[in-house]
């Protein structure tokens, strides 16, 4: 936000580039200090921010109500309103996440490997900060705290660009993170939020090669697609969460029911929500109808193939487009597959590389699935809704990276570091 807390409502391409350049320069200066700071100081900043968030709960809820009312007036879908909504419980969860991150080991300066080569040179690989990280996100105001806290802990400066749907909440949360930095004697410019939701600012961030070191997008297909198409800065890709459950021959029916309902219906608007269930034909007769019935009774619309449609008259016939679809709504596609190989081919064809889960009591089946399915997260007998950095013990996450370079899965403190080599000699000269 600007000093007077006012939003810049309109930018040209040129003014956006100037704004981003200035903010990135300030971020770089701050990062040099933050990246060299003691872990105790960074932890103190996180603890102070947690206290500020707890103390500011009424103000946060009020700002969030303004954003939700604006979103409802703009016709945002229920899933987006759900992502946008904060409660006293979720505010406390944000503060607790800060407490957890503060307790993590210092990721900076950690010795990753050390060896001596035949010439006698002593070589050490140590963890370092990435630098200046741009985070572009929609709807979820908690991303403001998650991204800021992980960057502080890992010694990175962050430029945050929230969507217009969360600007009041995210702006306030960013200022509370800055207050934590100030209290700890660290530069507030380590965390900056864009004073505008103008789309030109996104374009300027994507073009800021040499000023921003990496971009992390967190949002819908449109946003991520634009980032991947336009970015001149390295990107940690966060694609759609087209997550699958595979009900294998060794699945216990009640467990399959319980996991299926939770994976889909706990929160339908998150990227870890299951979007497709694949039921092995070996258990189709015994498991299909109970699973379908439980989902429908939980308020879910089931779209199924011919076999699934025959289970219940309430099932809607699935089209080809229903498979590979991120519904972000109480809708799920269900299909019968011939065997595990068929299930894995389907996942490879229609999945997004996010999260897949096998339900089975057969350890051999489980290990085959866990070994051969190539997604960022592969689970056994667990709801896909556990695909979350907080649930992984990371305190929080910036996102779930579905690419294969540098970071994959939940992007936490460790994933926001790089490394350098330190080479120690004793008058060494090369022949």
Q: pLDDT, tens digit, for every residue of 90-99?
A: 999 999 999 9
DSSP letters for 44-68: HHHHHHHHHHHHTHHHHHHHHHHHH
Mean pLDDT of the region 345-355: 96
Pairing of strands 122-129, 417-424: antiparallel
Mean pLDDT of the region 304-324: 95
- Banded pLDDT at 16 (limits 50, 70, 90): very high
- Banded pLDDT at 5 (limits 50, 70, 90): very low
- Banded pLDDT at 2 (limits 50, 70, 90): very low
| Predicted pLDDT at 6 | 61
**For the segment 255-291, what is each residue's pLDDT rounded down to a tens digit?**
999 999 999 999 998 899 999 999 999 999 999 999 9
| Predicted pLDDT at 224 | 81
Mean pLDDT of the region 62-76: 93
- Banded pLDDT at 214 (limits 50, 70, 90): very high
Alpha-carbon distance of 38 to 21, in angstroms, equals 28
- Range with the poorest average pLDDT among 16-25, 159-168, 216-225, 294-303: 216-225
Alpha-carbon distance of 334 to 290, in angstroms, equals 13
- Banded pLDDT at 78 (limits 50, 70, 90): confident
- Banded pLDDT at 115 (limits 50, 70, 90): very high
Are 221 and 240 in contact by the 8 Å Cβ rule? The answer is: yes
| Predicted pLDDT at 28 | 98
- Nearest-CA neighbor of 154 among 185, 133, 129, 190? 129
Q: Is the predicted pLDDT of residue 41 greater than 90, yes or no?
A: yes
| Predicted pLDDT at 245 | 98
Domains and CATH numbers, the chain: 13-236+411-423 (3.40.605.10), 243-386 (3.40.309.10)
| Predicted pLDDT at 222 | 80
Alpha-carbon distance of 200 to 417, in angstroms, equals 29
- Banded pLDDT at 1 (limits 50, 70, 90): very low
Q: Is the predicted pLDDT of residue 100 greater than 80, yes or no?
A: yes
| Token duo for residue 369 | 């699935």
Element (H, E) at 234: none
Residue length, the chain? 431
Alpha-carbon distance of 159 to 193, in angstroms, equals 6
Alpha-carbon distance of 409 to 391, in angstroms, equals 12
| Predicted pLDDT at 252 | 98
Q: Is 409 left (phi over 0), alpha (psi -120 to 50) or beta?
A: left
Mean pLDDT of the region 230-250: 91
Instruction: Provide the β-strand partners of residue 381.
Output: none
Q: Is the predicted pLDDT of residue 362 greater than 60, yes or no?
A: yes
Alpha-carbon distance of 337 to 323, in angstroms, equals 13
Are 53 and 145 in contact by the 8 Å Cβ rule? The answer is: yes
For residue 4, CA distances in Å to 8, 69, 103, 178 come to 11, 24, 34, 15
Instruction: List phi, psi (to 5°) of 254.
Output: -65, -40
Are 241 and 400 in contact by the 8 Å Cβ rule? The answer is: yes
Mean pLDDT of the region 223-241: 86
| Token duo for residue 360 | 């089975």
| Predicted pLDDT at 314 | 97
Q: Is the predicted pLDDT of residue 189 greater than 60, yes or no?
A: yes
For residue 206, CA distances in Å to 16, 129, 203, 228, 369 come to 11, 20, 5, 9, 37
- DSSP assigned state of 376: S
| Predicted pLDDT at 180 | 98
DSSP letters for 128-157: EE--EEEEEE-S-THHHHHHHHHHHHTT-E
Q: Is the predicted pLDDT of residue 350 greater than 90, yes or no?
A: yes
Instruction: Provide the β-strand partners of residue 301.
Output: 331
Alpha-carbon distance of 328 to 354, in angstroms, equals 14
Distance of CA 173 to the CA centre of its chain: 18
Mean pLDDT of the region 169-194: 98
Helix axes 39-55, 167-183, angle to 10 degrees: 130
Mean pLDDT of the region 170-198: 96
Instruction: List phi, psi (to 5°) of 125.
Output: -105, 120
Element (H, E) at 422: strand 417-424
Q: Is 228 exposed, middle or buried (CB count within 10 Å of its CB: 0-12, 13-18, 19+)?
A: middle
Alpha-carbon distance of 157 to 34, in angstroms, equals 8
Per-position b or e across 159-192, b if 16+ CB within 10 A of its CB = bbbbbbbbbbbbbbbbbbbbbbbeebebbbbbbb
Average pLDDT across the chain, whole number: 94
Neighbours of 390 (CB within 10 A): 20
Q: Is 331 exposed, middle or buried (CB count within 10 Å of its CB: 0-12, 13-18, 19+)?
A: middle
């Amino acid at each position: 936000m600007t000093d007077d807390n006012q939003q810049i409502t309109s930018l040209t391409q040129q003014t956006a580039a100037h704004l981003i350049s200035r903010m990135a320069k300030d971020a770089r200066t701050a990062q040099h200090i933050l990246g060299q700071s003691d872990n105790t100081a960074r932890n103190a900043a996180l603890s102070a921010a947690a206290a500020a968030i707890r103390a500011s709960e009424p103000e946060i809820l009020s700002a969030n109500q303004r954003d939700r009312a604006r979103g409802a007036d703009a016709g945002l879908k229920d899933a987006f309103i759900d992502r946008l909504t904060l409660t006293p419980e979720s505010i406390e969860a944000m503060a607790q996440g800060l407490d957890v991150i503060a307790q993590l080991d210092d990721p900076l300066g950690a010795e990753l490997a050390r060896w001596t080569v035949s010439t006698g040179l002593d070589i050490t690989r140590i963890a370092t900060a990435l630098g200046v990280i741009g985070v572009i996100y929609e709807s979820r105001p908690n991303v403001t705290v998650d991204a800021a806290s992980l960057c502080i802990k890992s010694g990175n400066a962050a430029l945050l660009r929230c969507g217009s749907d969360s600007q009041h909440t995210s702006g306030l949360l960013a200022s509370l993170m800055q207050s934590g930095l100030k209290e700890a004697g660290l530069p507030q410019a380590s965390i900056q939020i864009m004073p505008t939701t103008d789309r030109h600012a996104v374009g300027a961030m994507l073009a800021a090669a040499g000023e921003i070191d990496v971009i992390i997008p967190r949002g819908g297909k449109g946003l991520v697609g634009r980032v991947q198409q336009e970015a001149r800065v390295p990107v940690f890709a966060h694609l759609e969460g087209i997550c699958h459950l595979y009900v294998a021959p060794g699945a216990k029916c009640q467990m399959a029911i319980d996991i299926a309902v939770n994976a889909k219906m706990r929160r339908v608007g998150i990227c870890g929500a299951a979007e497709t269930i694949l039921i092995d034909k070996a258990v189709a007769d015994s498991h299909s109808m109970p699973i379908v019935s439980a989902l429908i009774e939980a308020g879910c619309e089931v779209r199924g193939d011919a076999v699934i449609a025959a289970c219940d008259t309430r099932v809607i016939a699935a089209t080809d487009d229903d498979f590979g679809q991120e519904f972000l709504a109480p809708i799920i596609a269900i299909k019968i597959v011939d065997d595990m190989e068929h299930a894995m081919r389907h996942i490879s064809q229609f999945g997004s590389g996010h999260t897949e889960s096998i339900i089975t009591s057969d350890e051999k089946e489980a290990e085959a699935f866990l070994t051969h399915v190539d997604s960022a997260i592969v689970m056994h007998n667990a709801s896909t809704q556990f695909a979350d950095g907080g649930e992984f013990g990371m305190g929080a996450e910036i996102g779930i990276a579905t690419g294969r370079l540098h970071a994959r899965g939940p992007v936490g403190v460790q994933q926001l570091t790089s490394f350098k080599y330190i080479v120690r000699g004793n008058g060494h000269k090369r022949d």
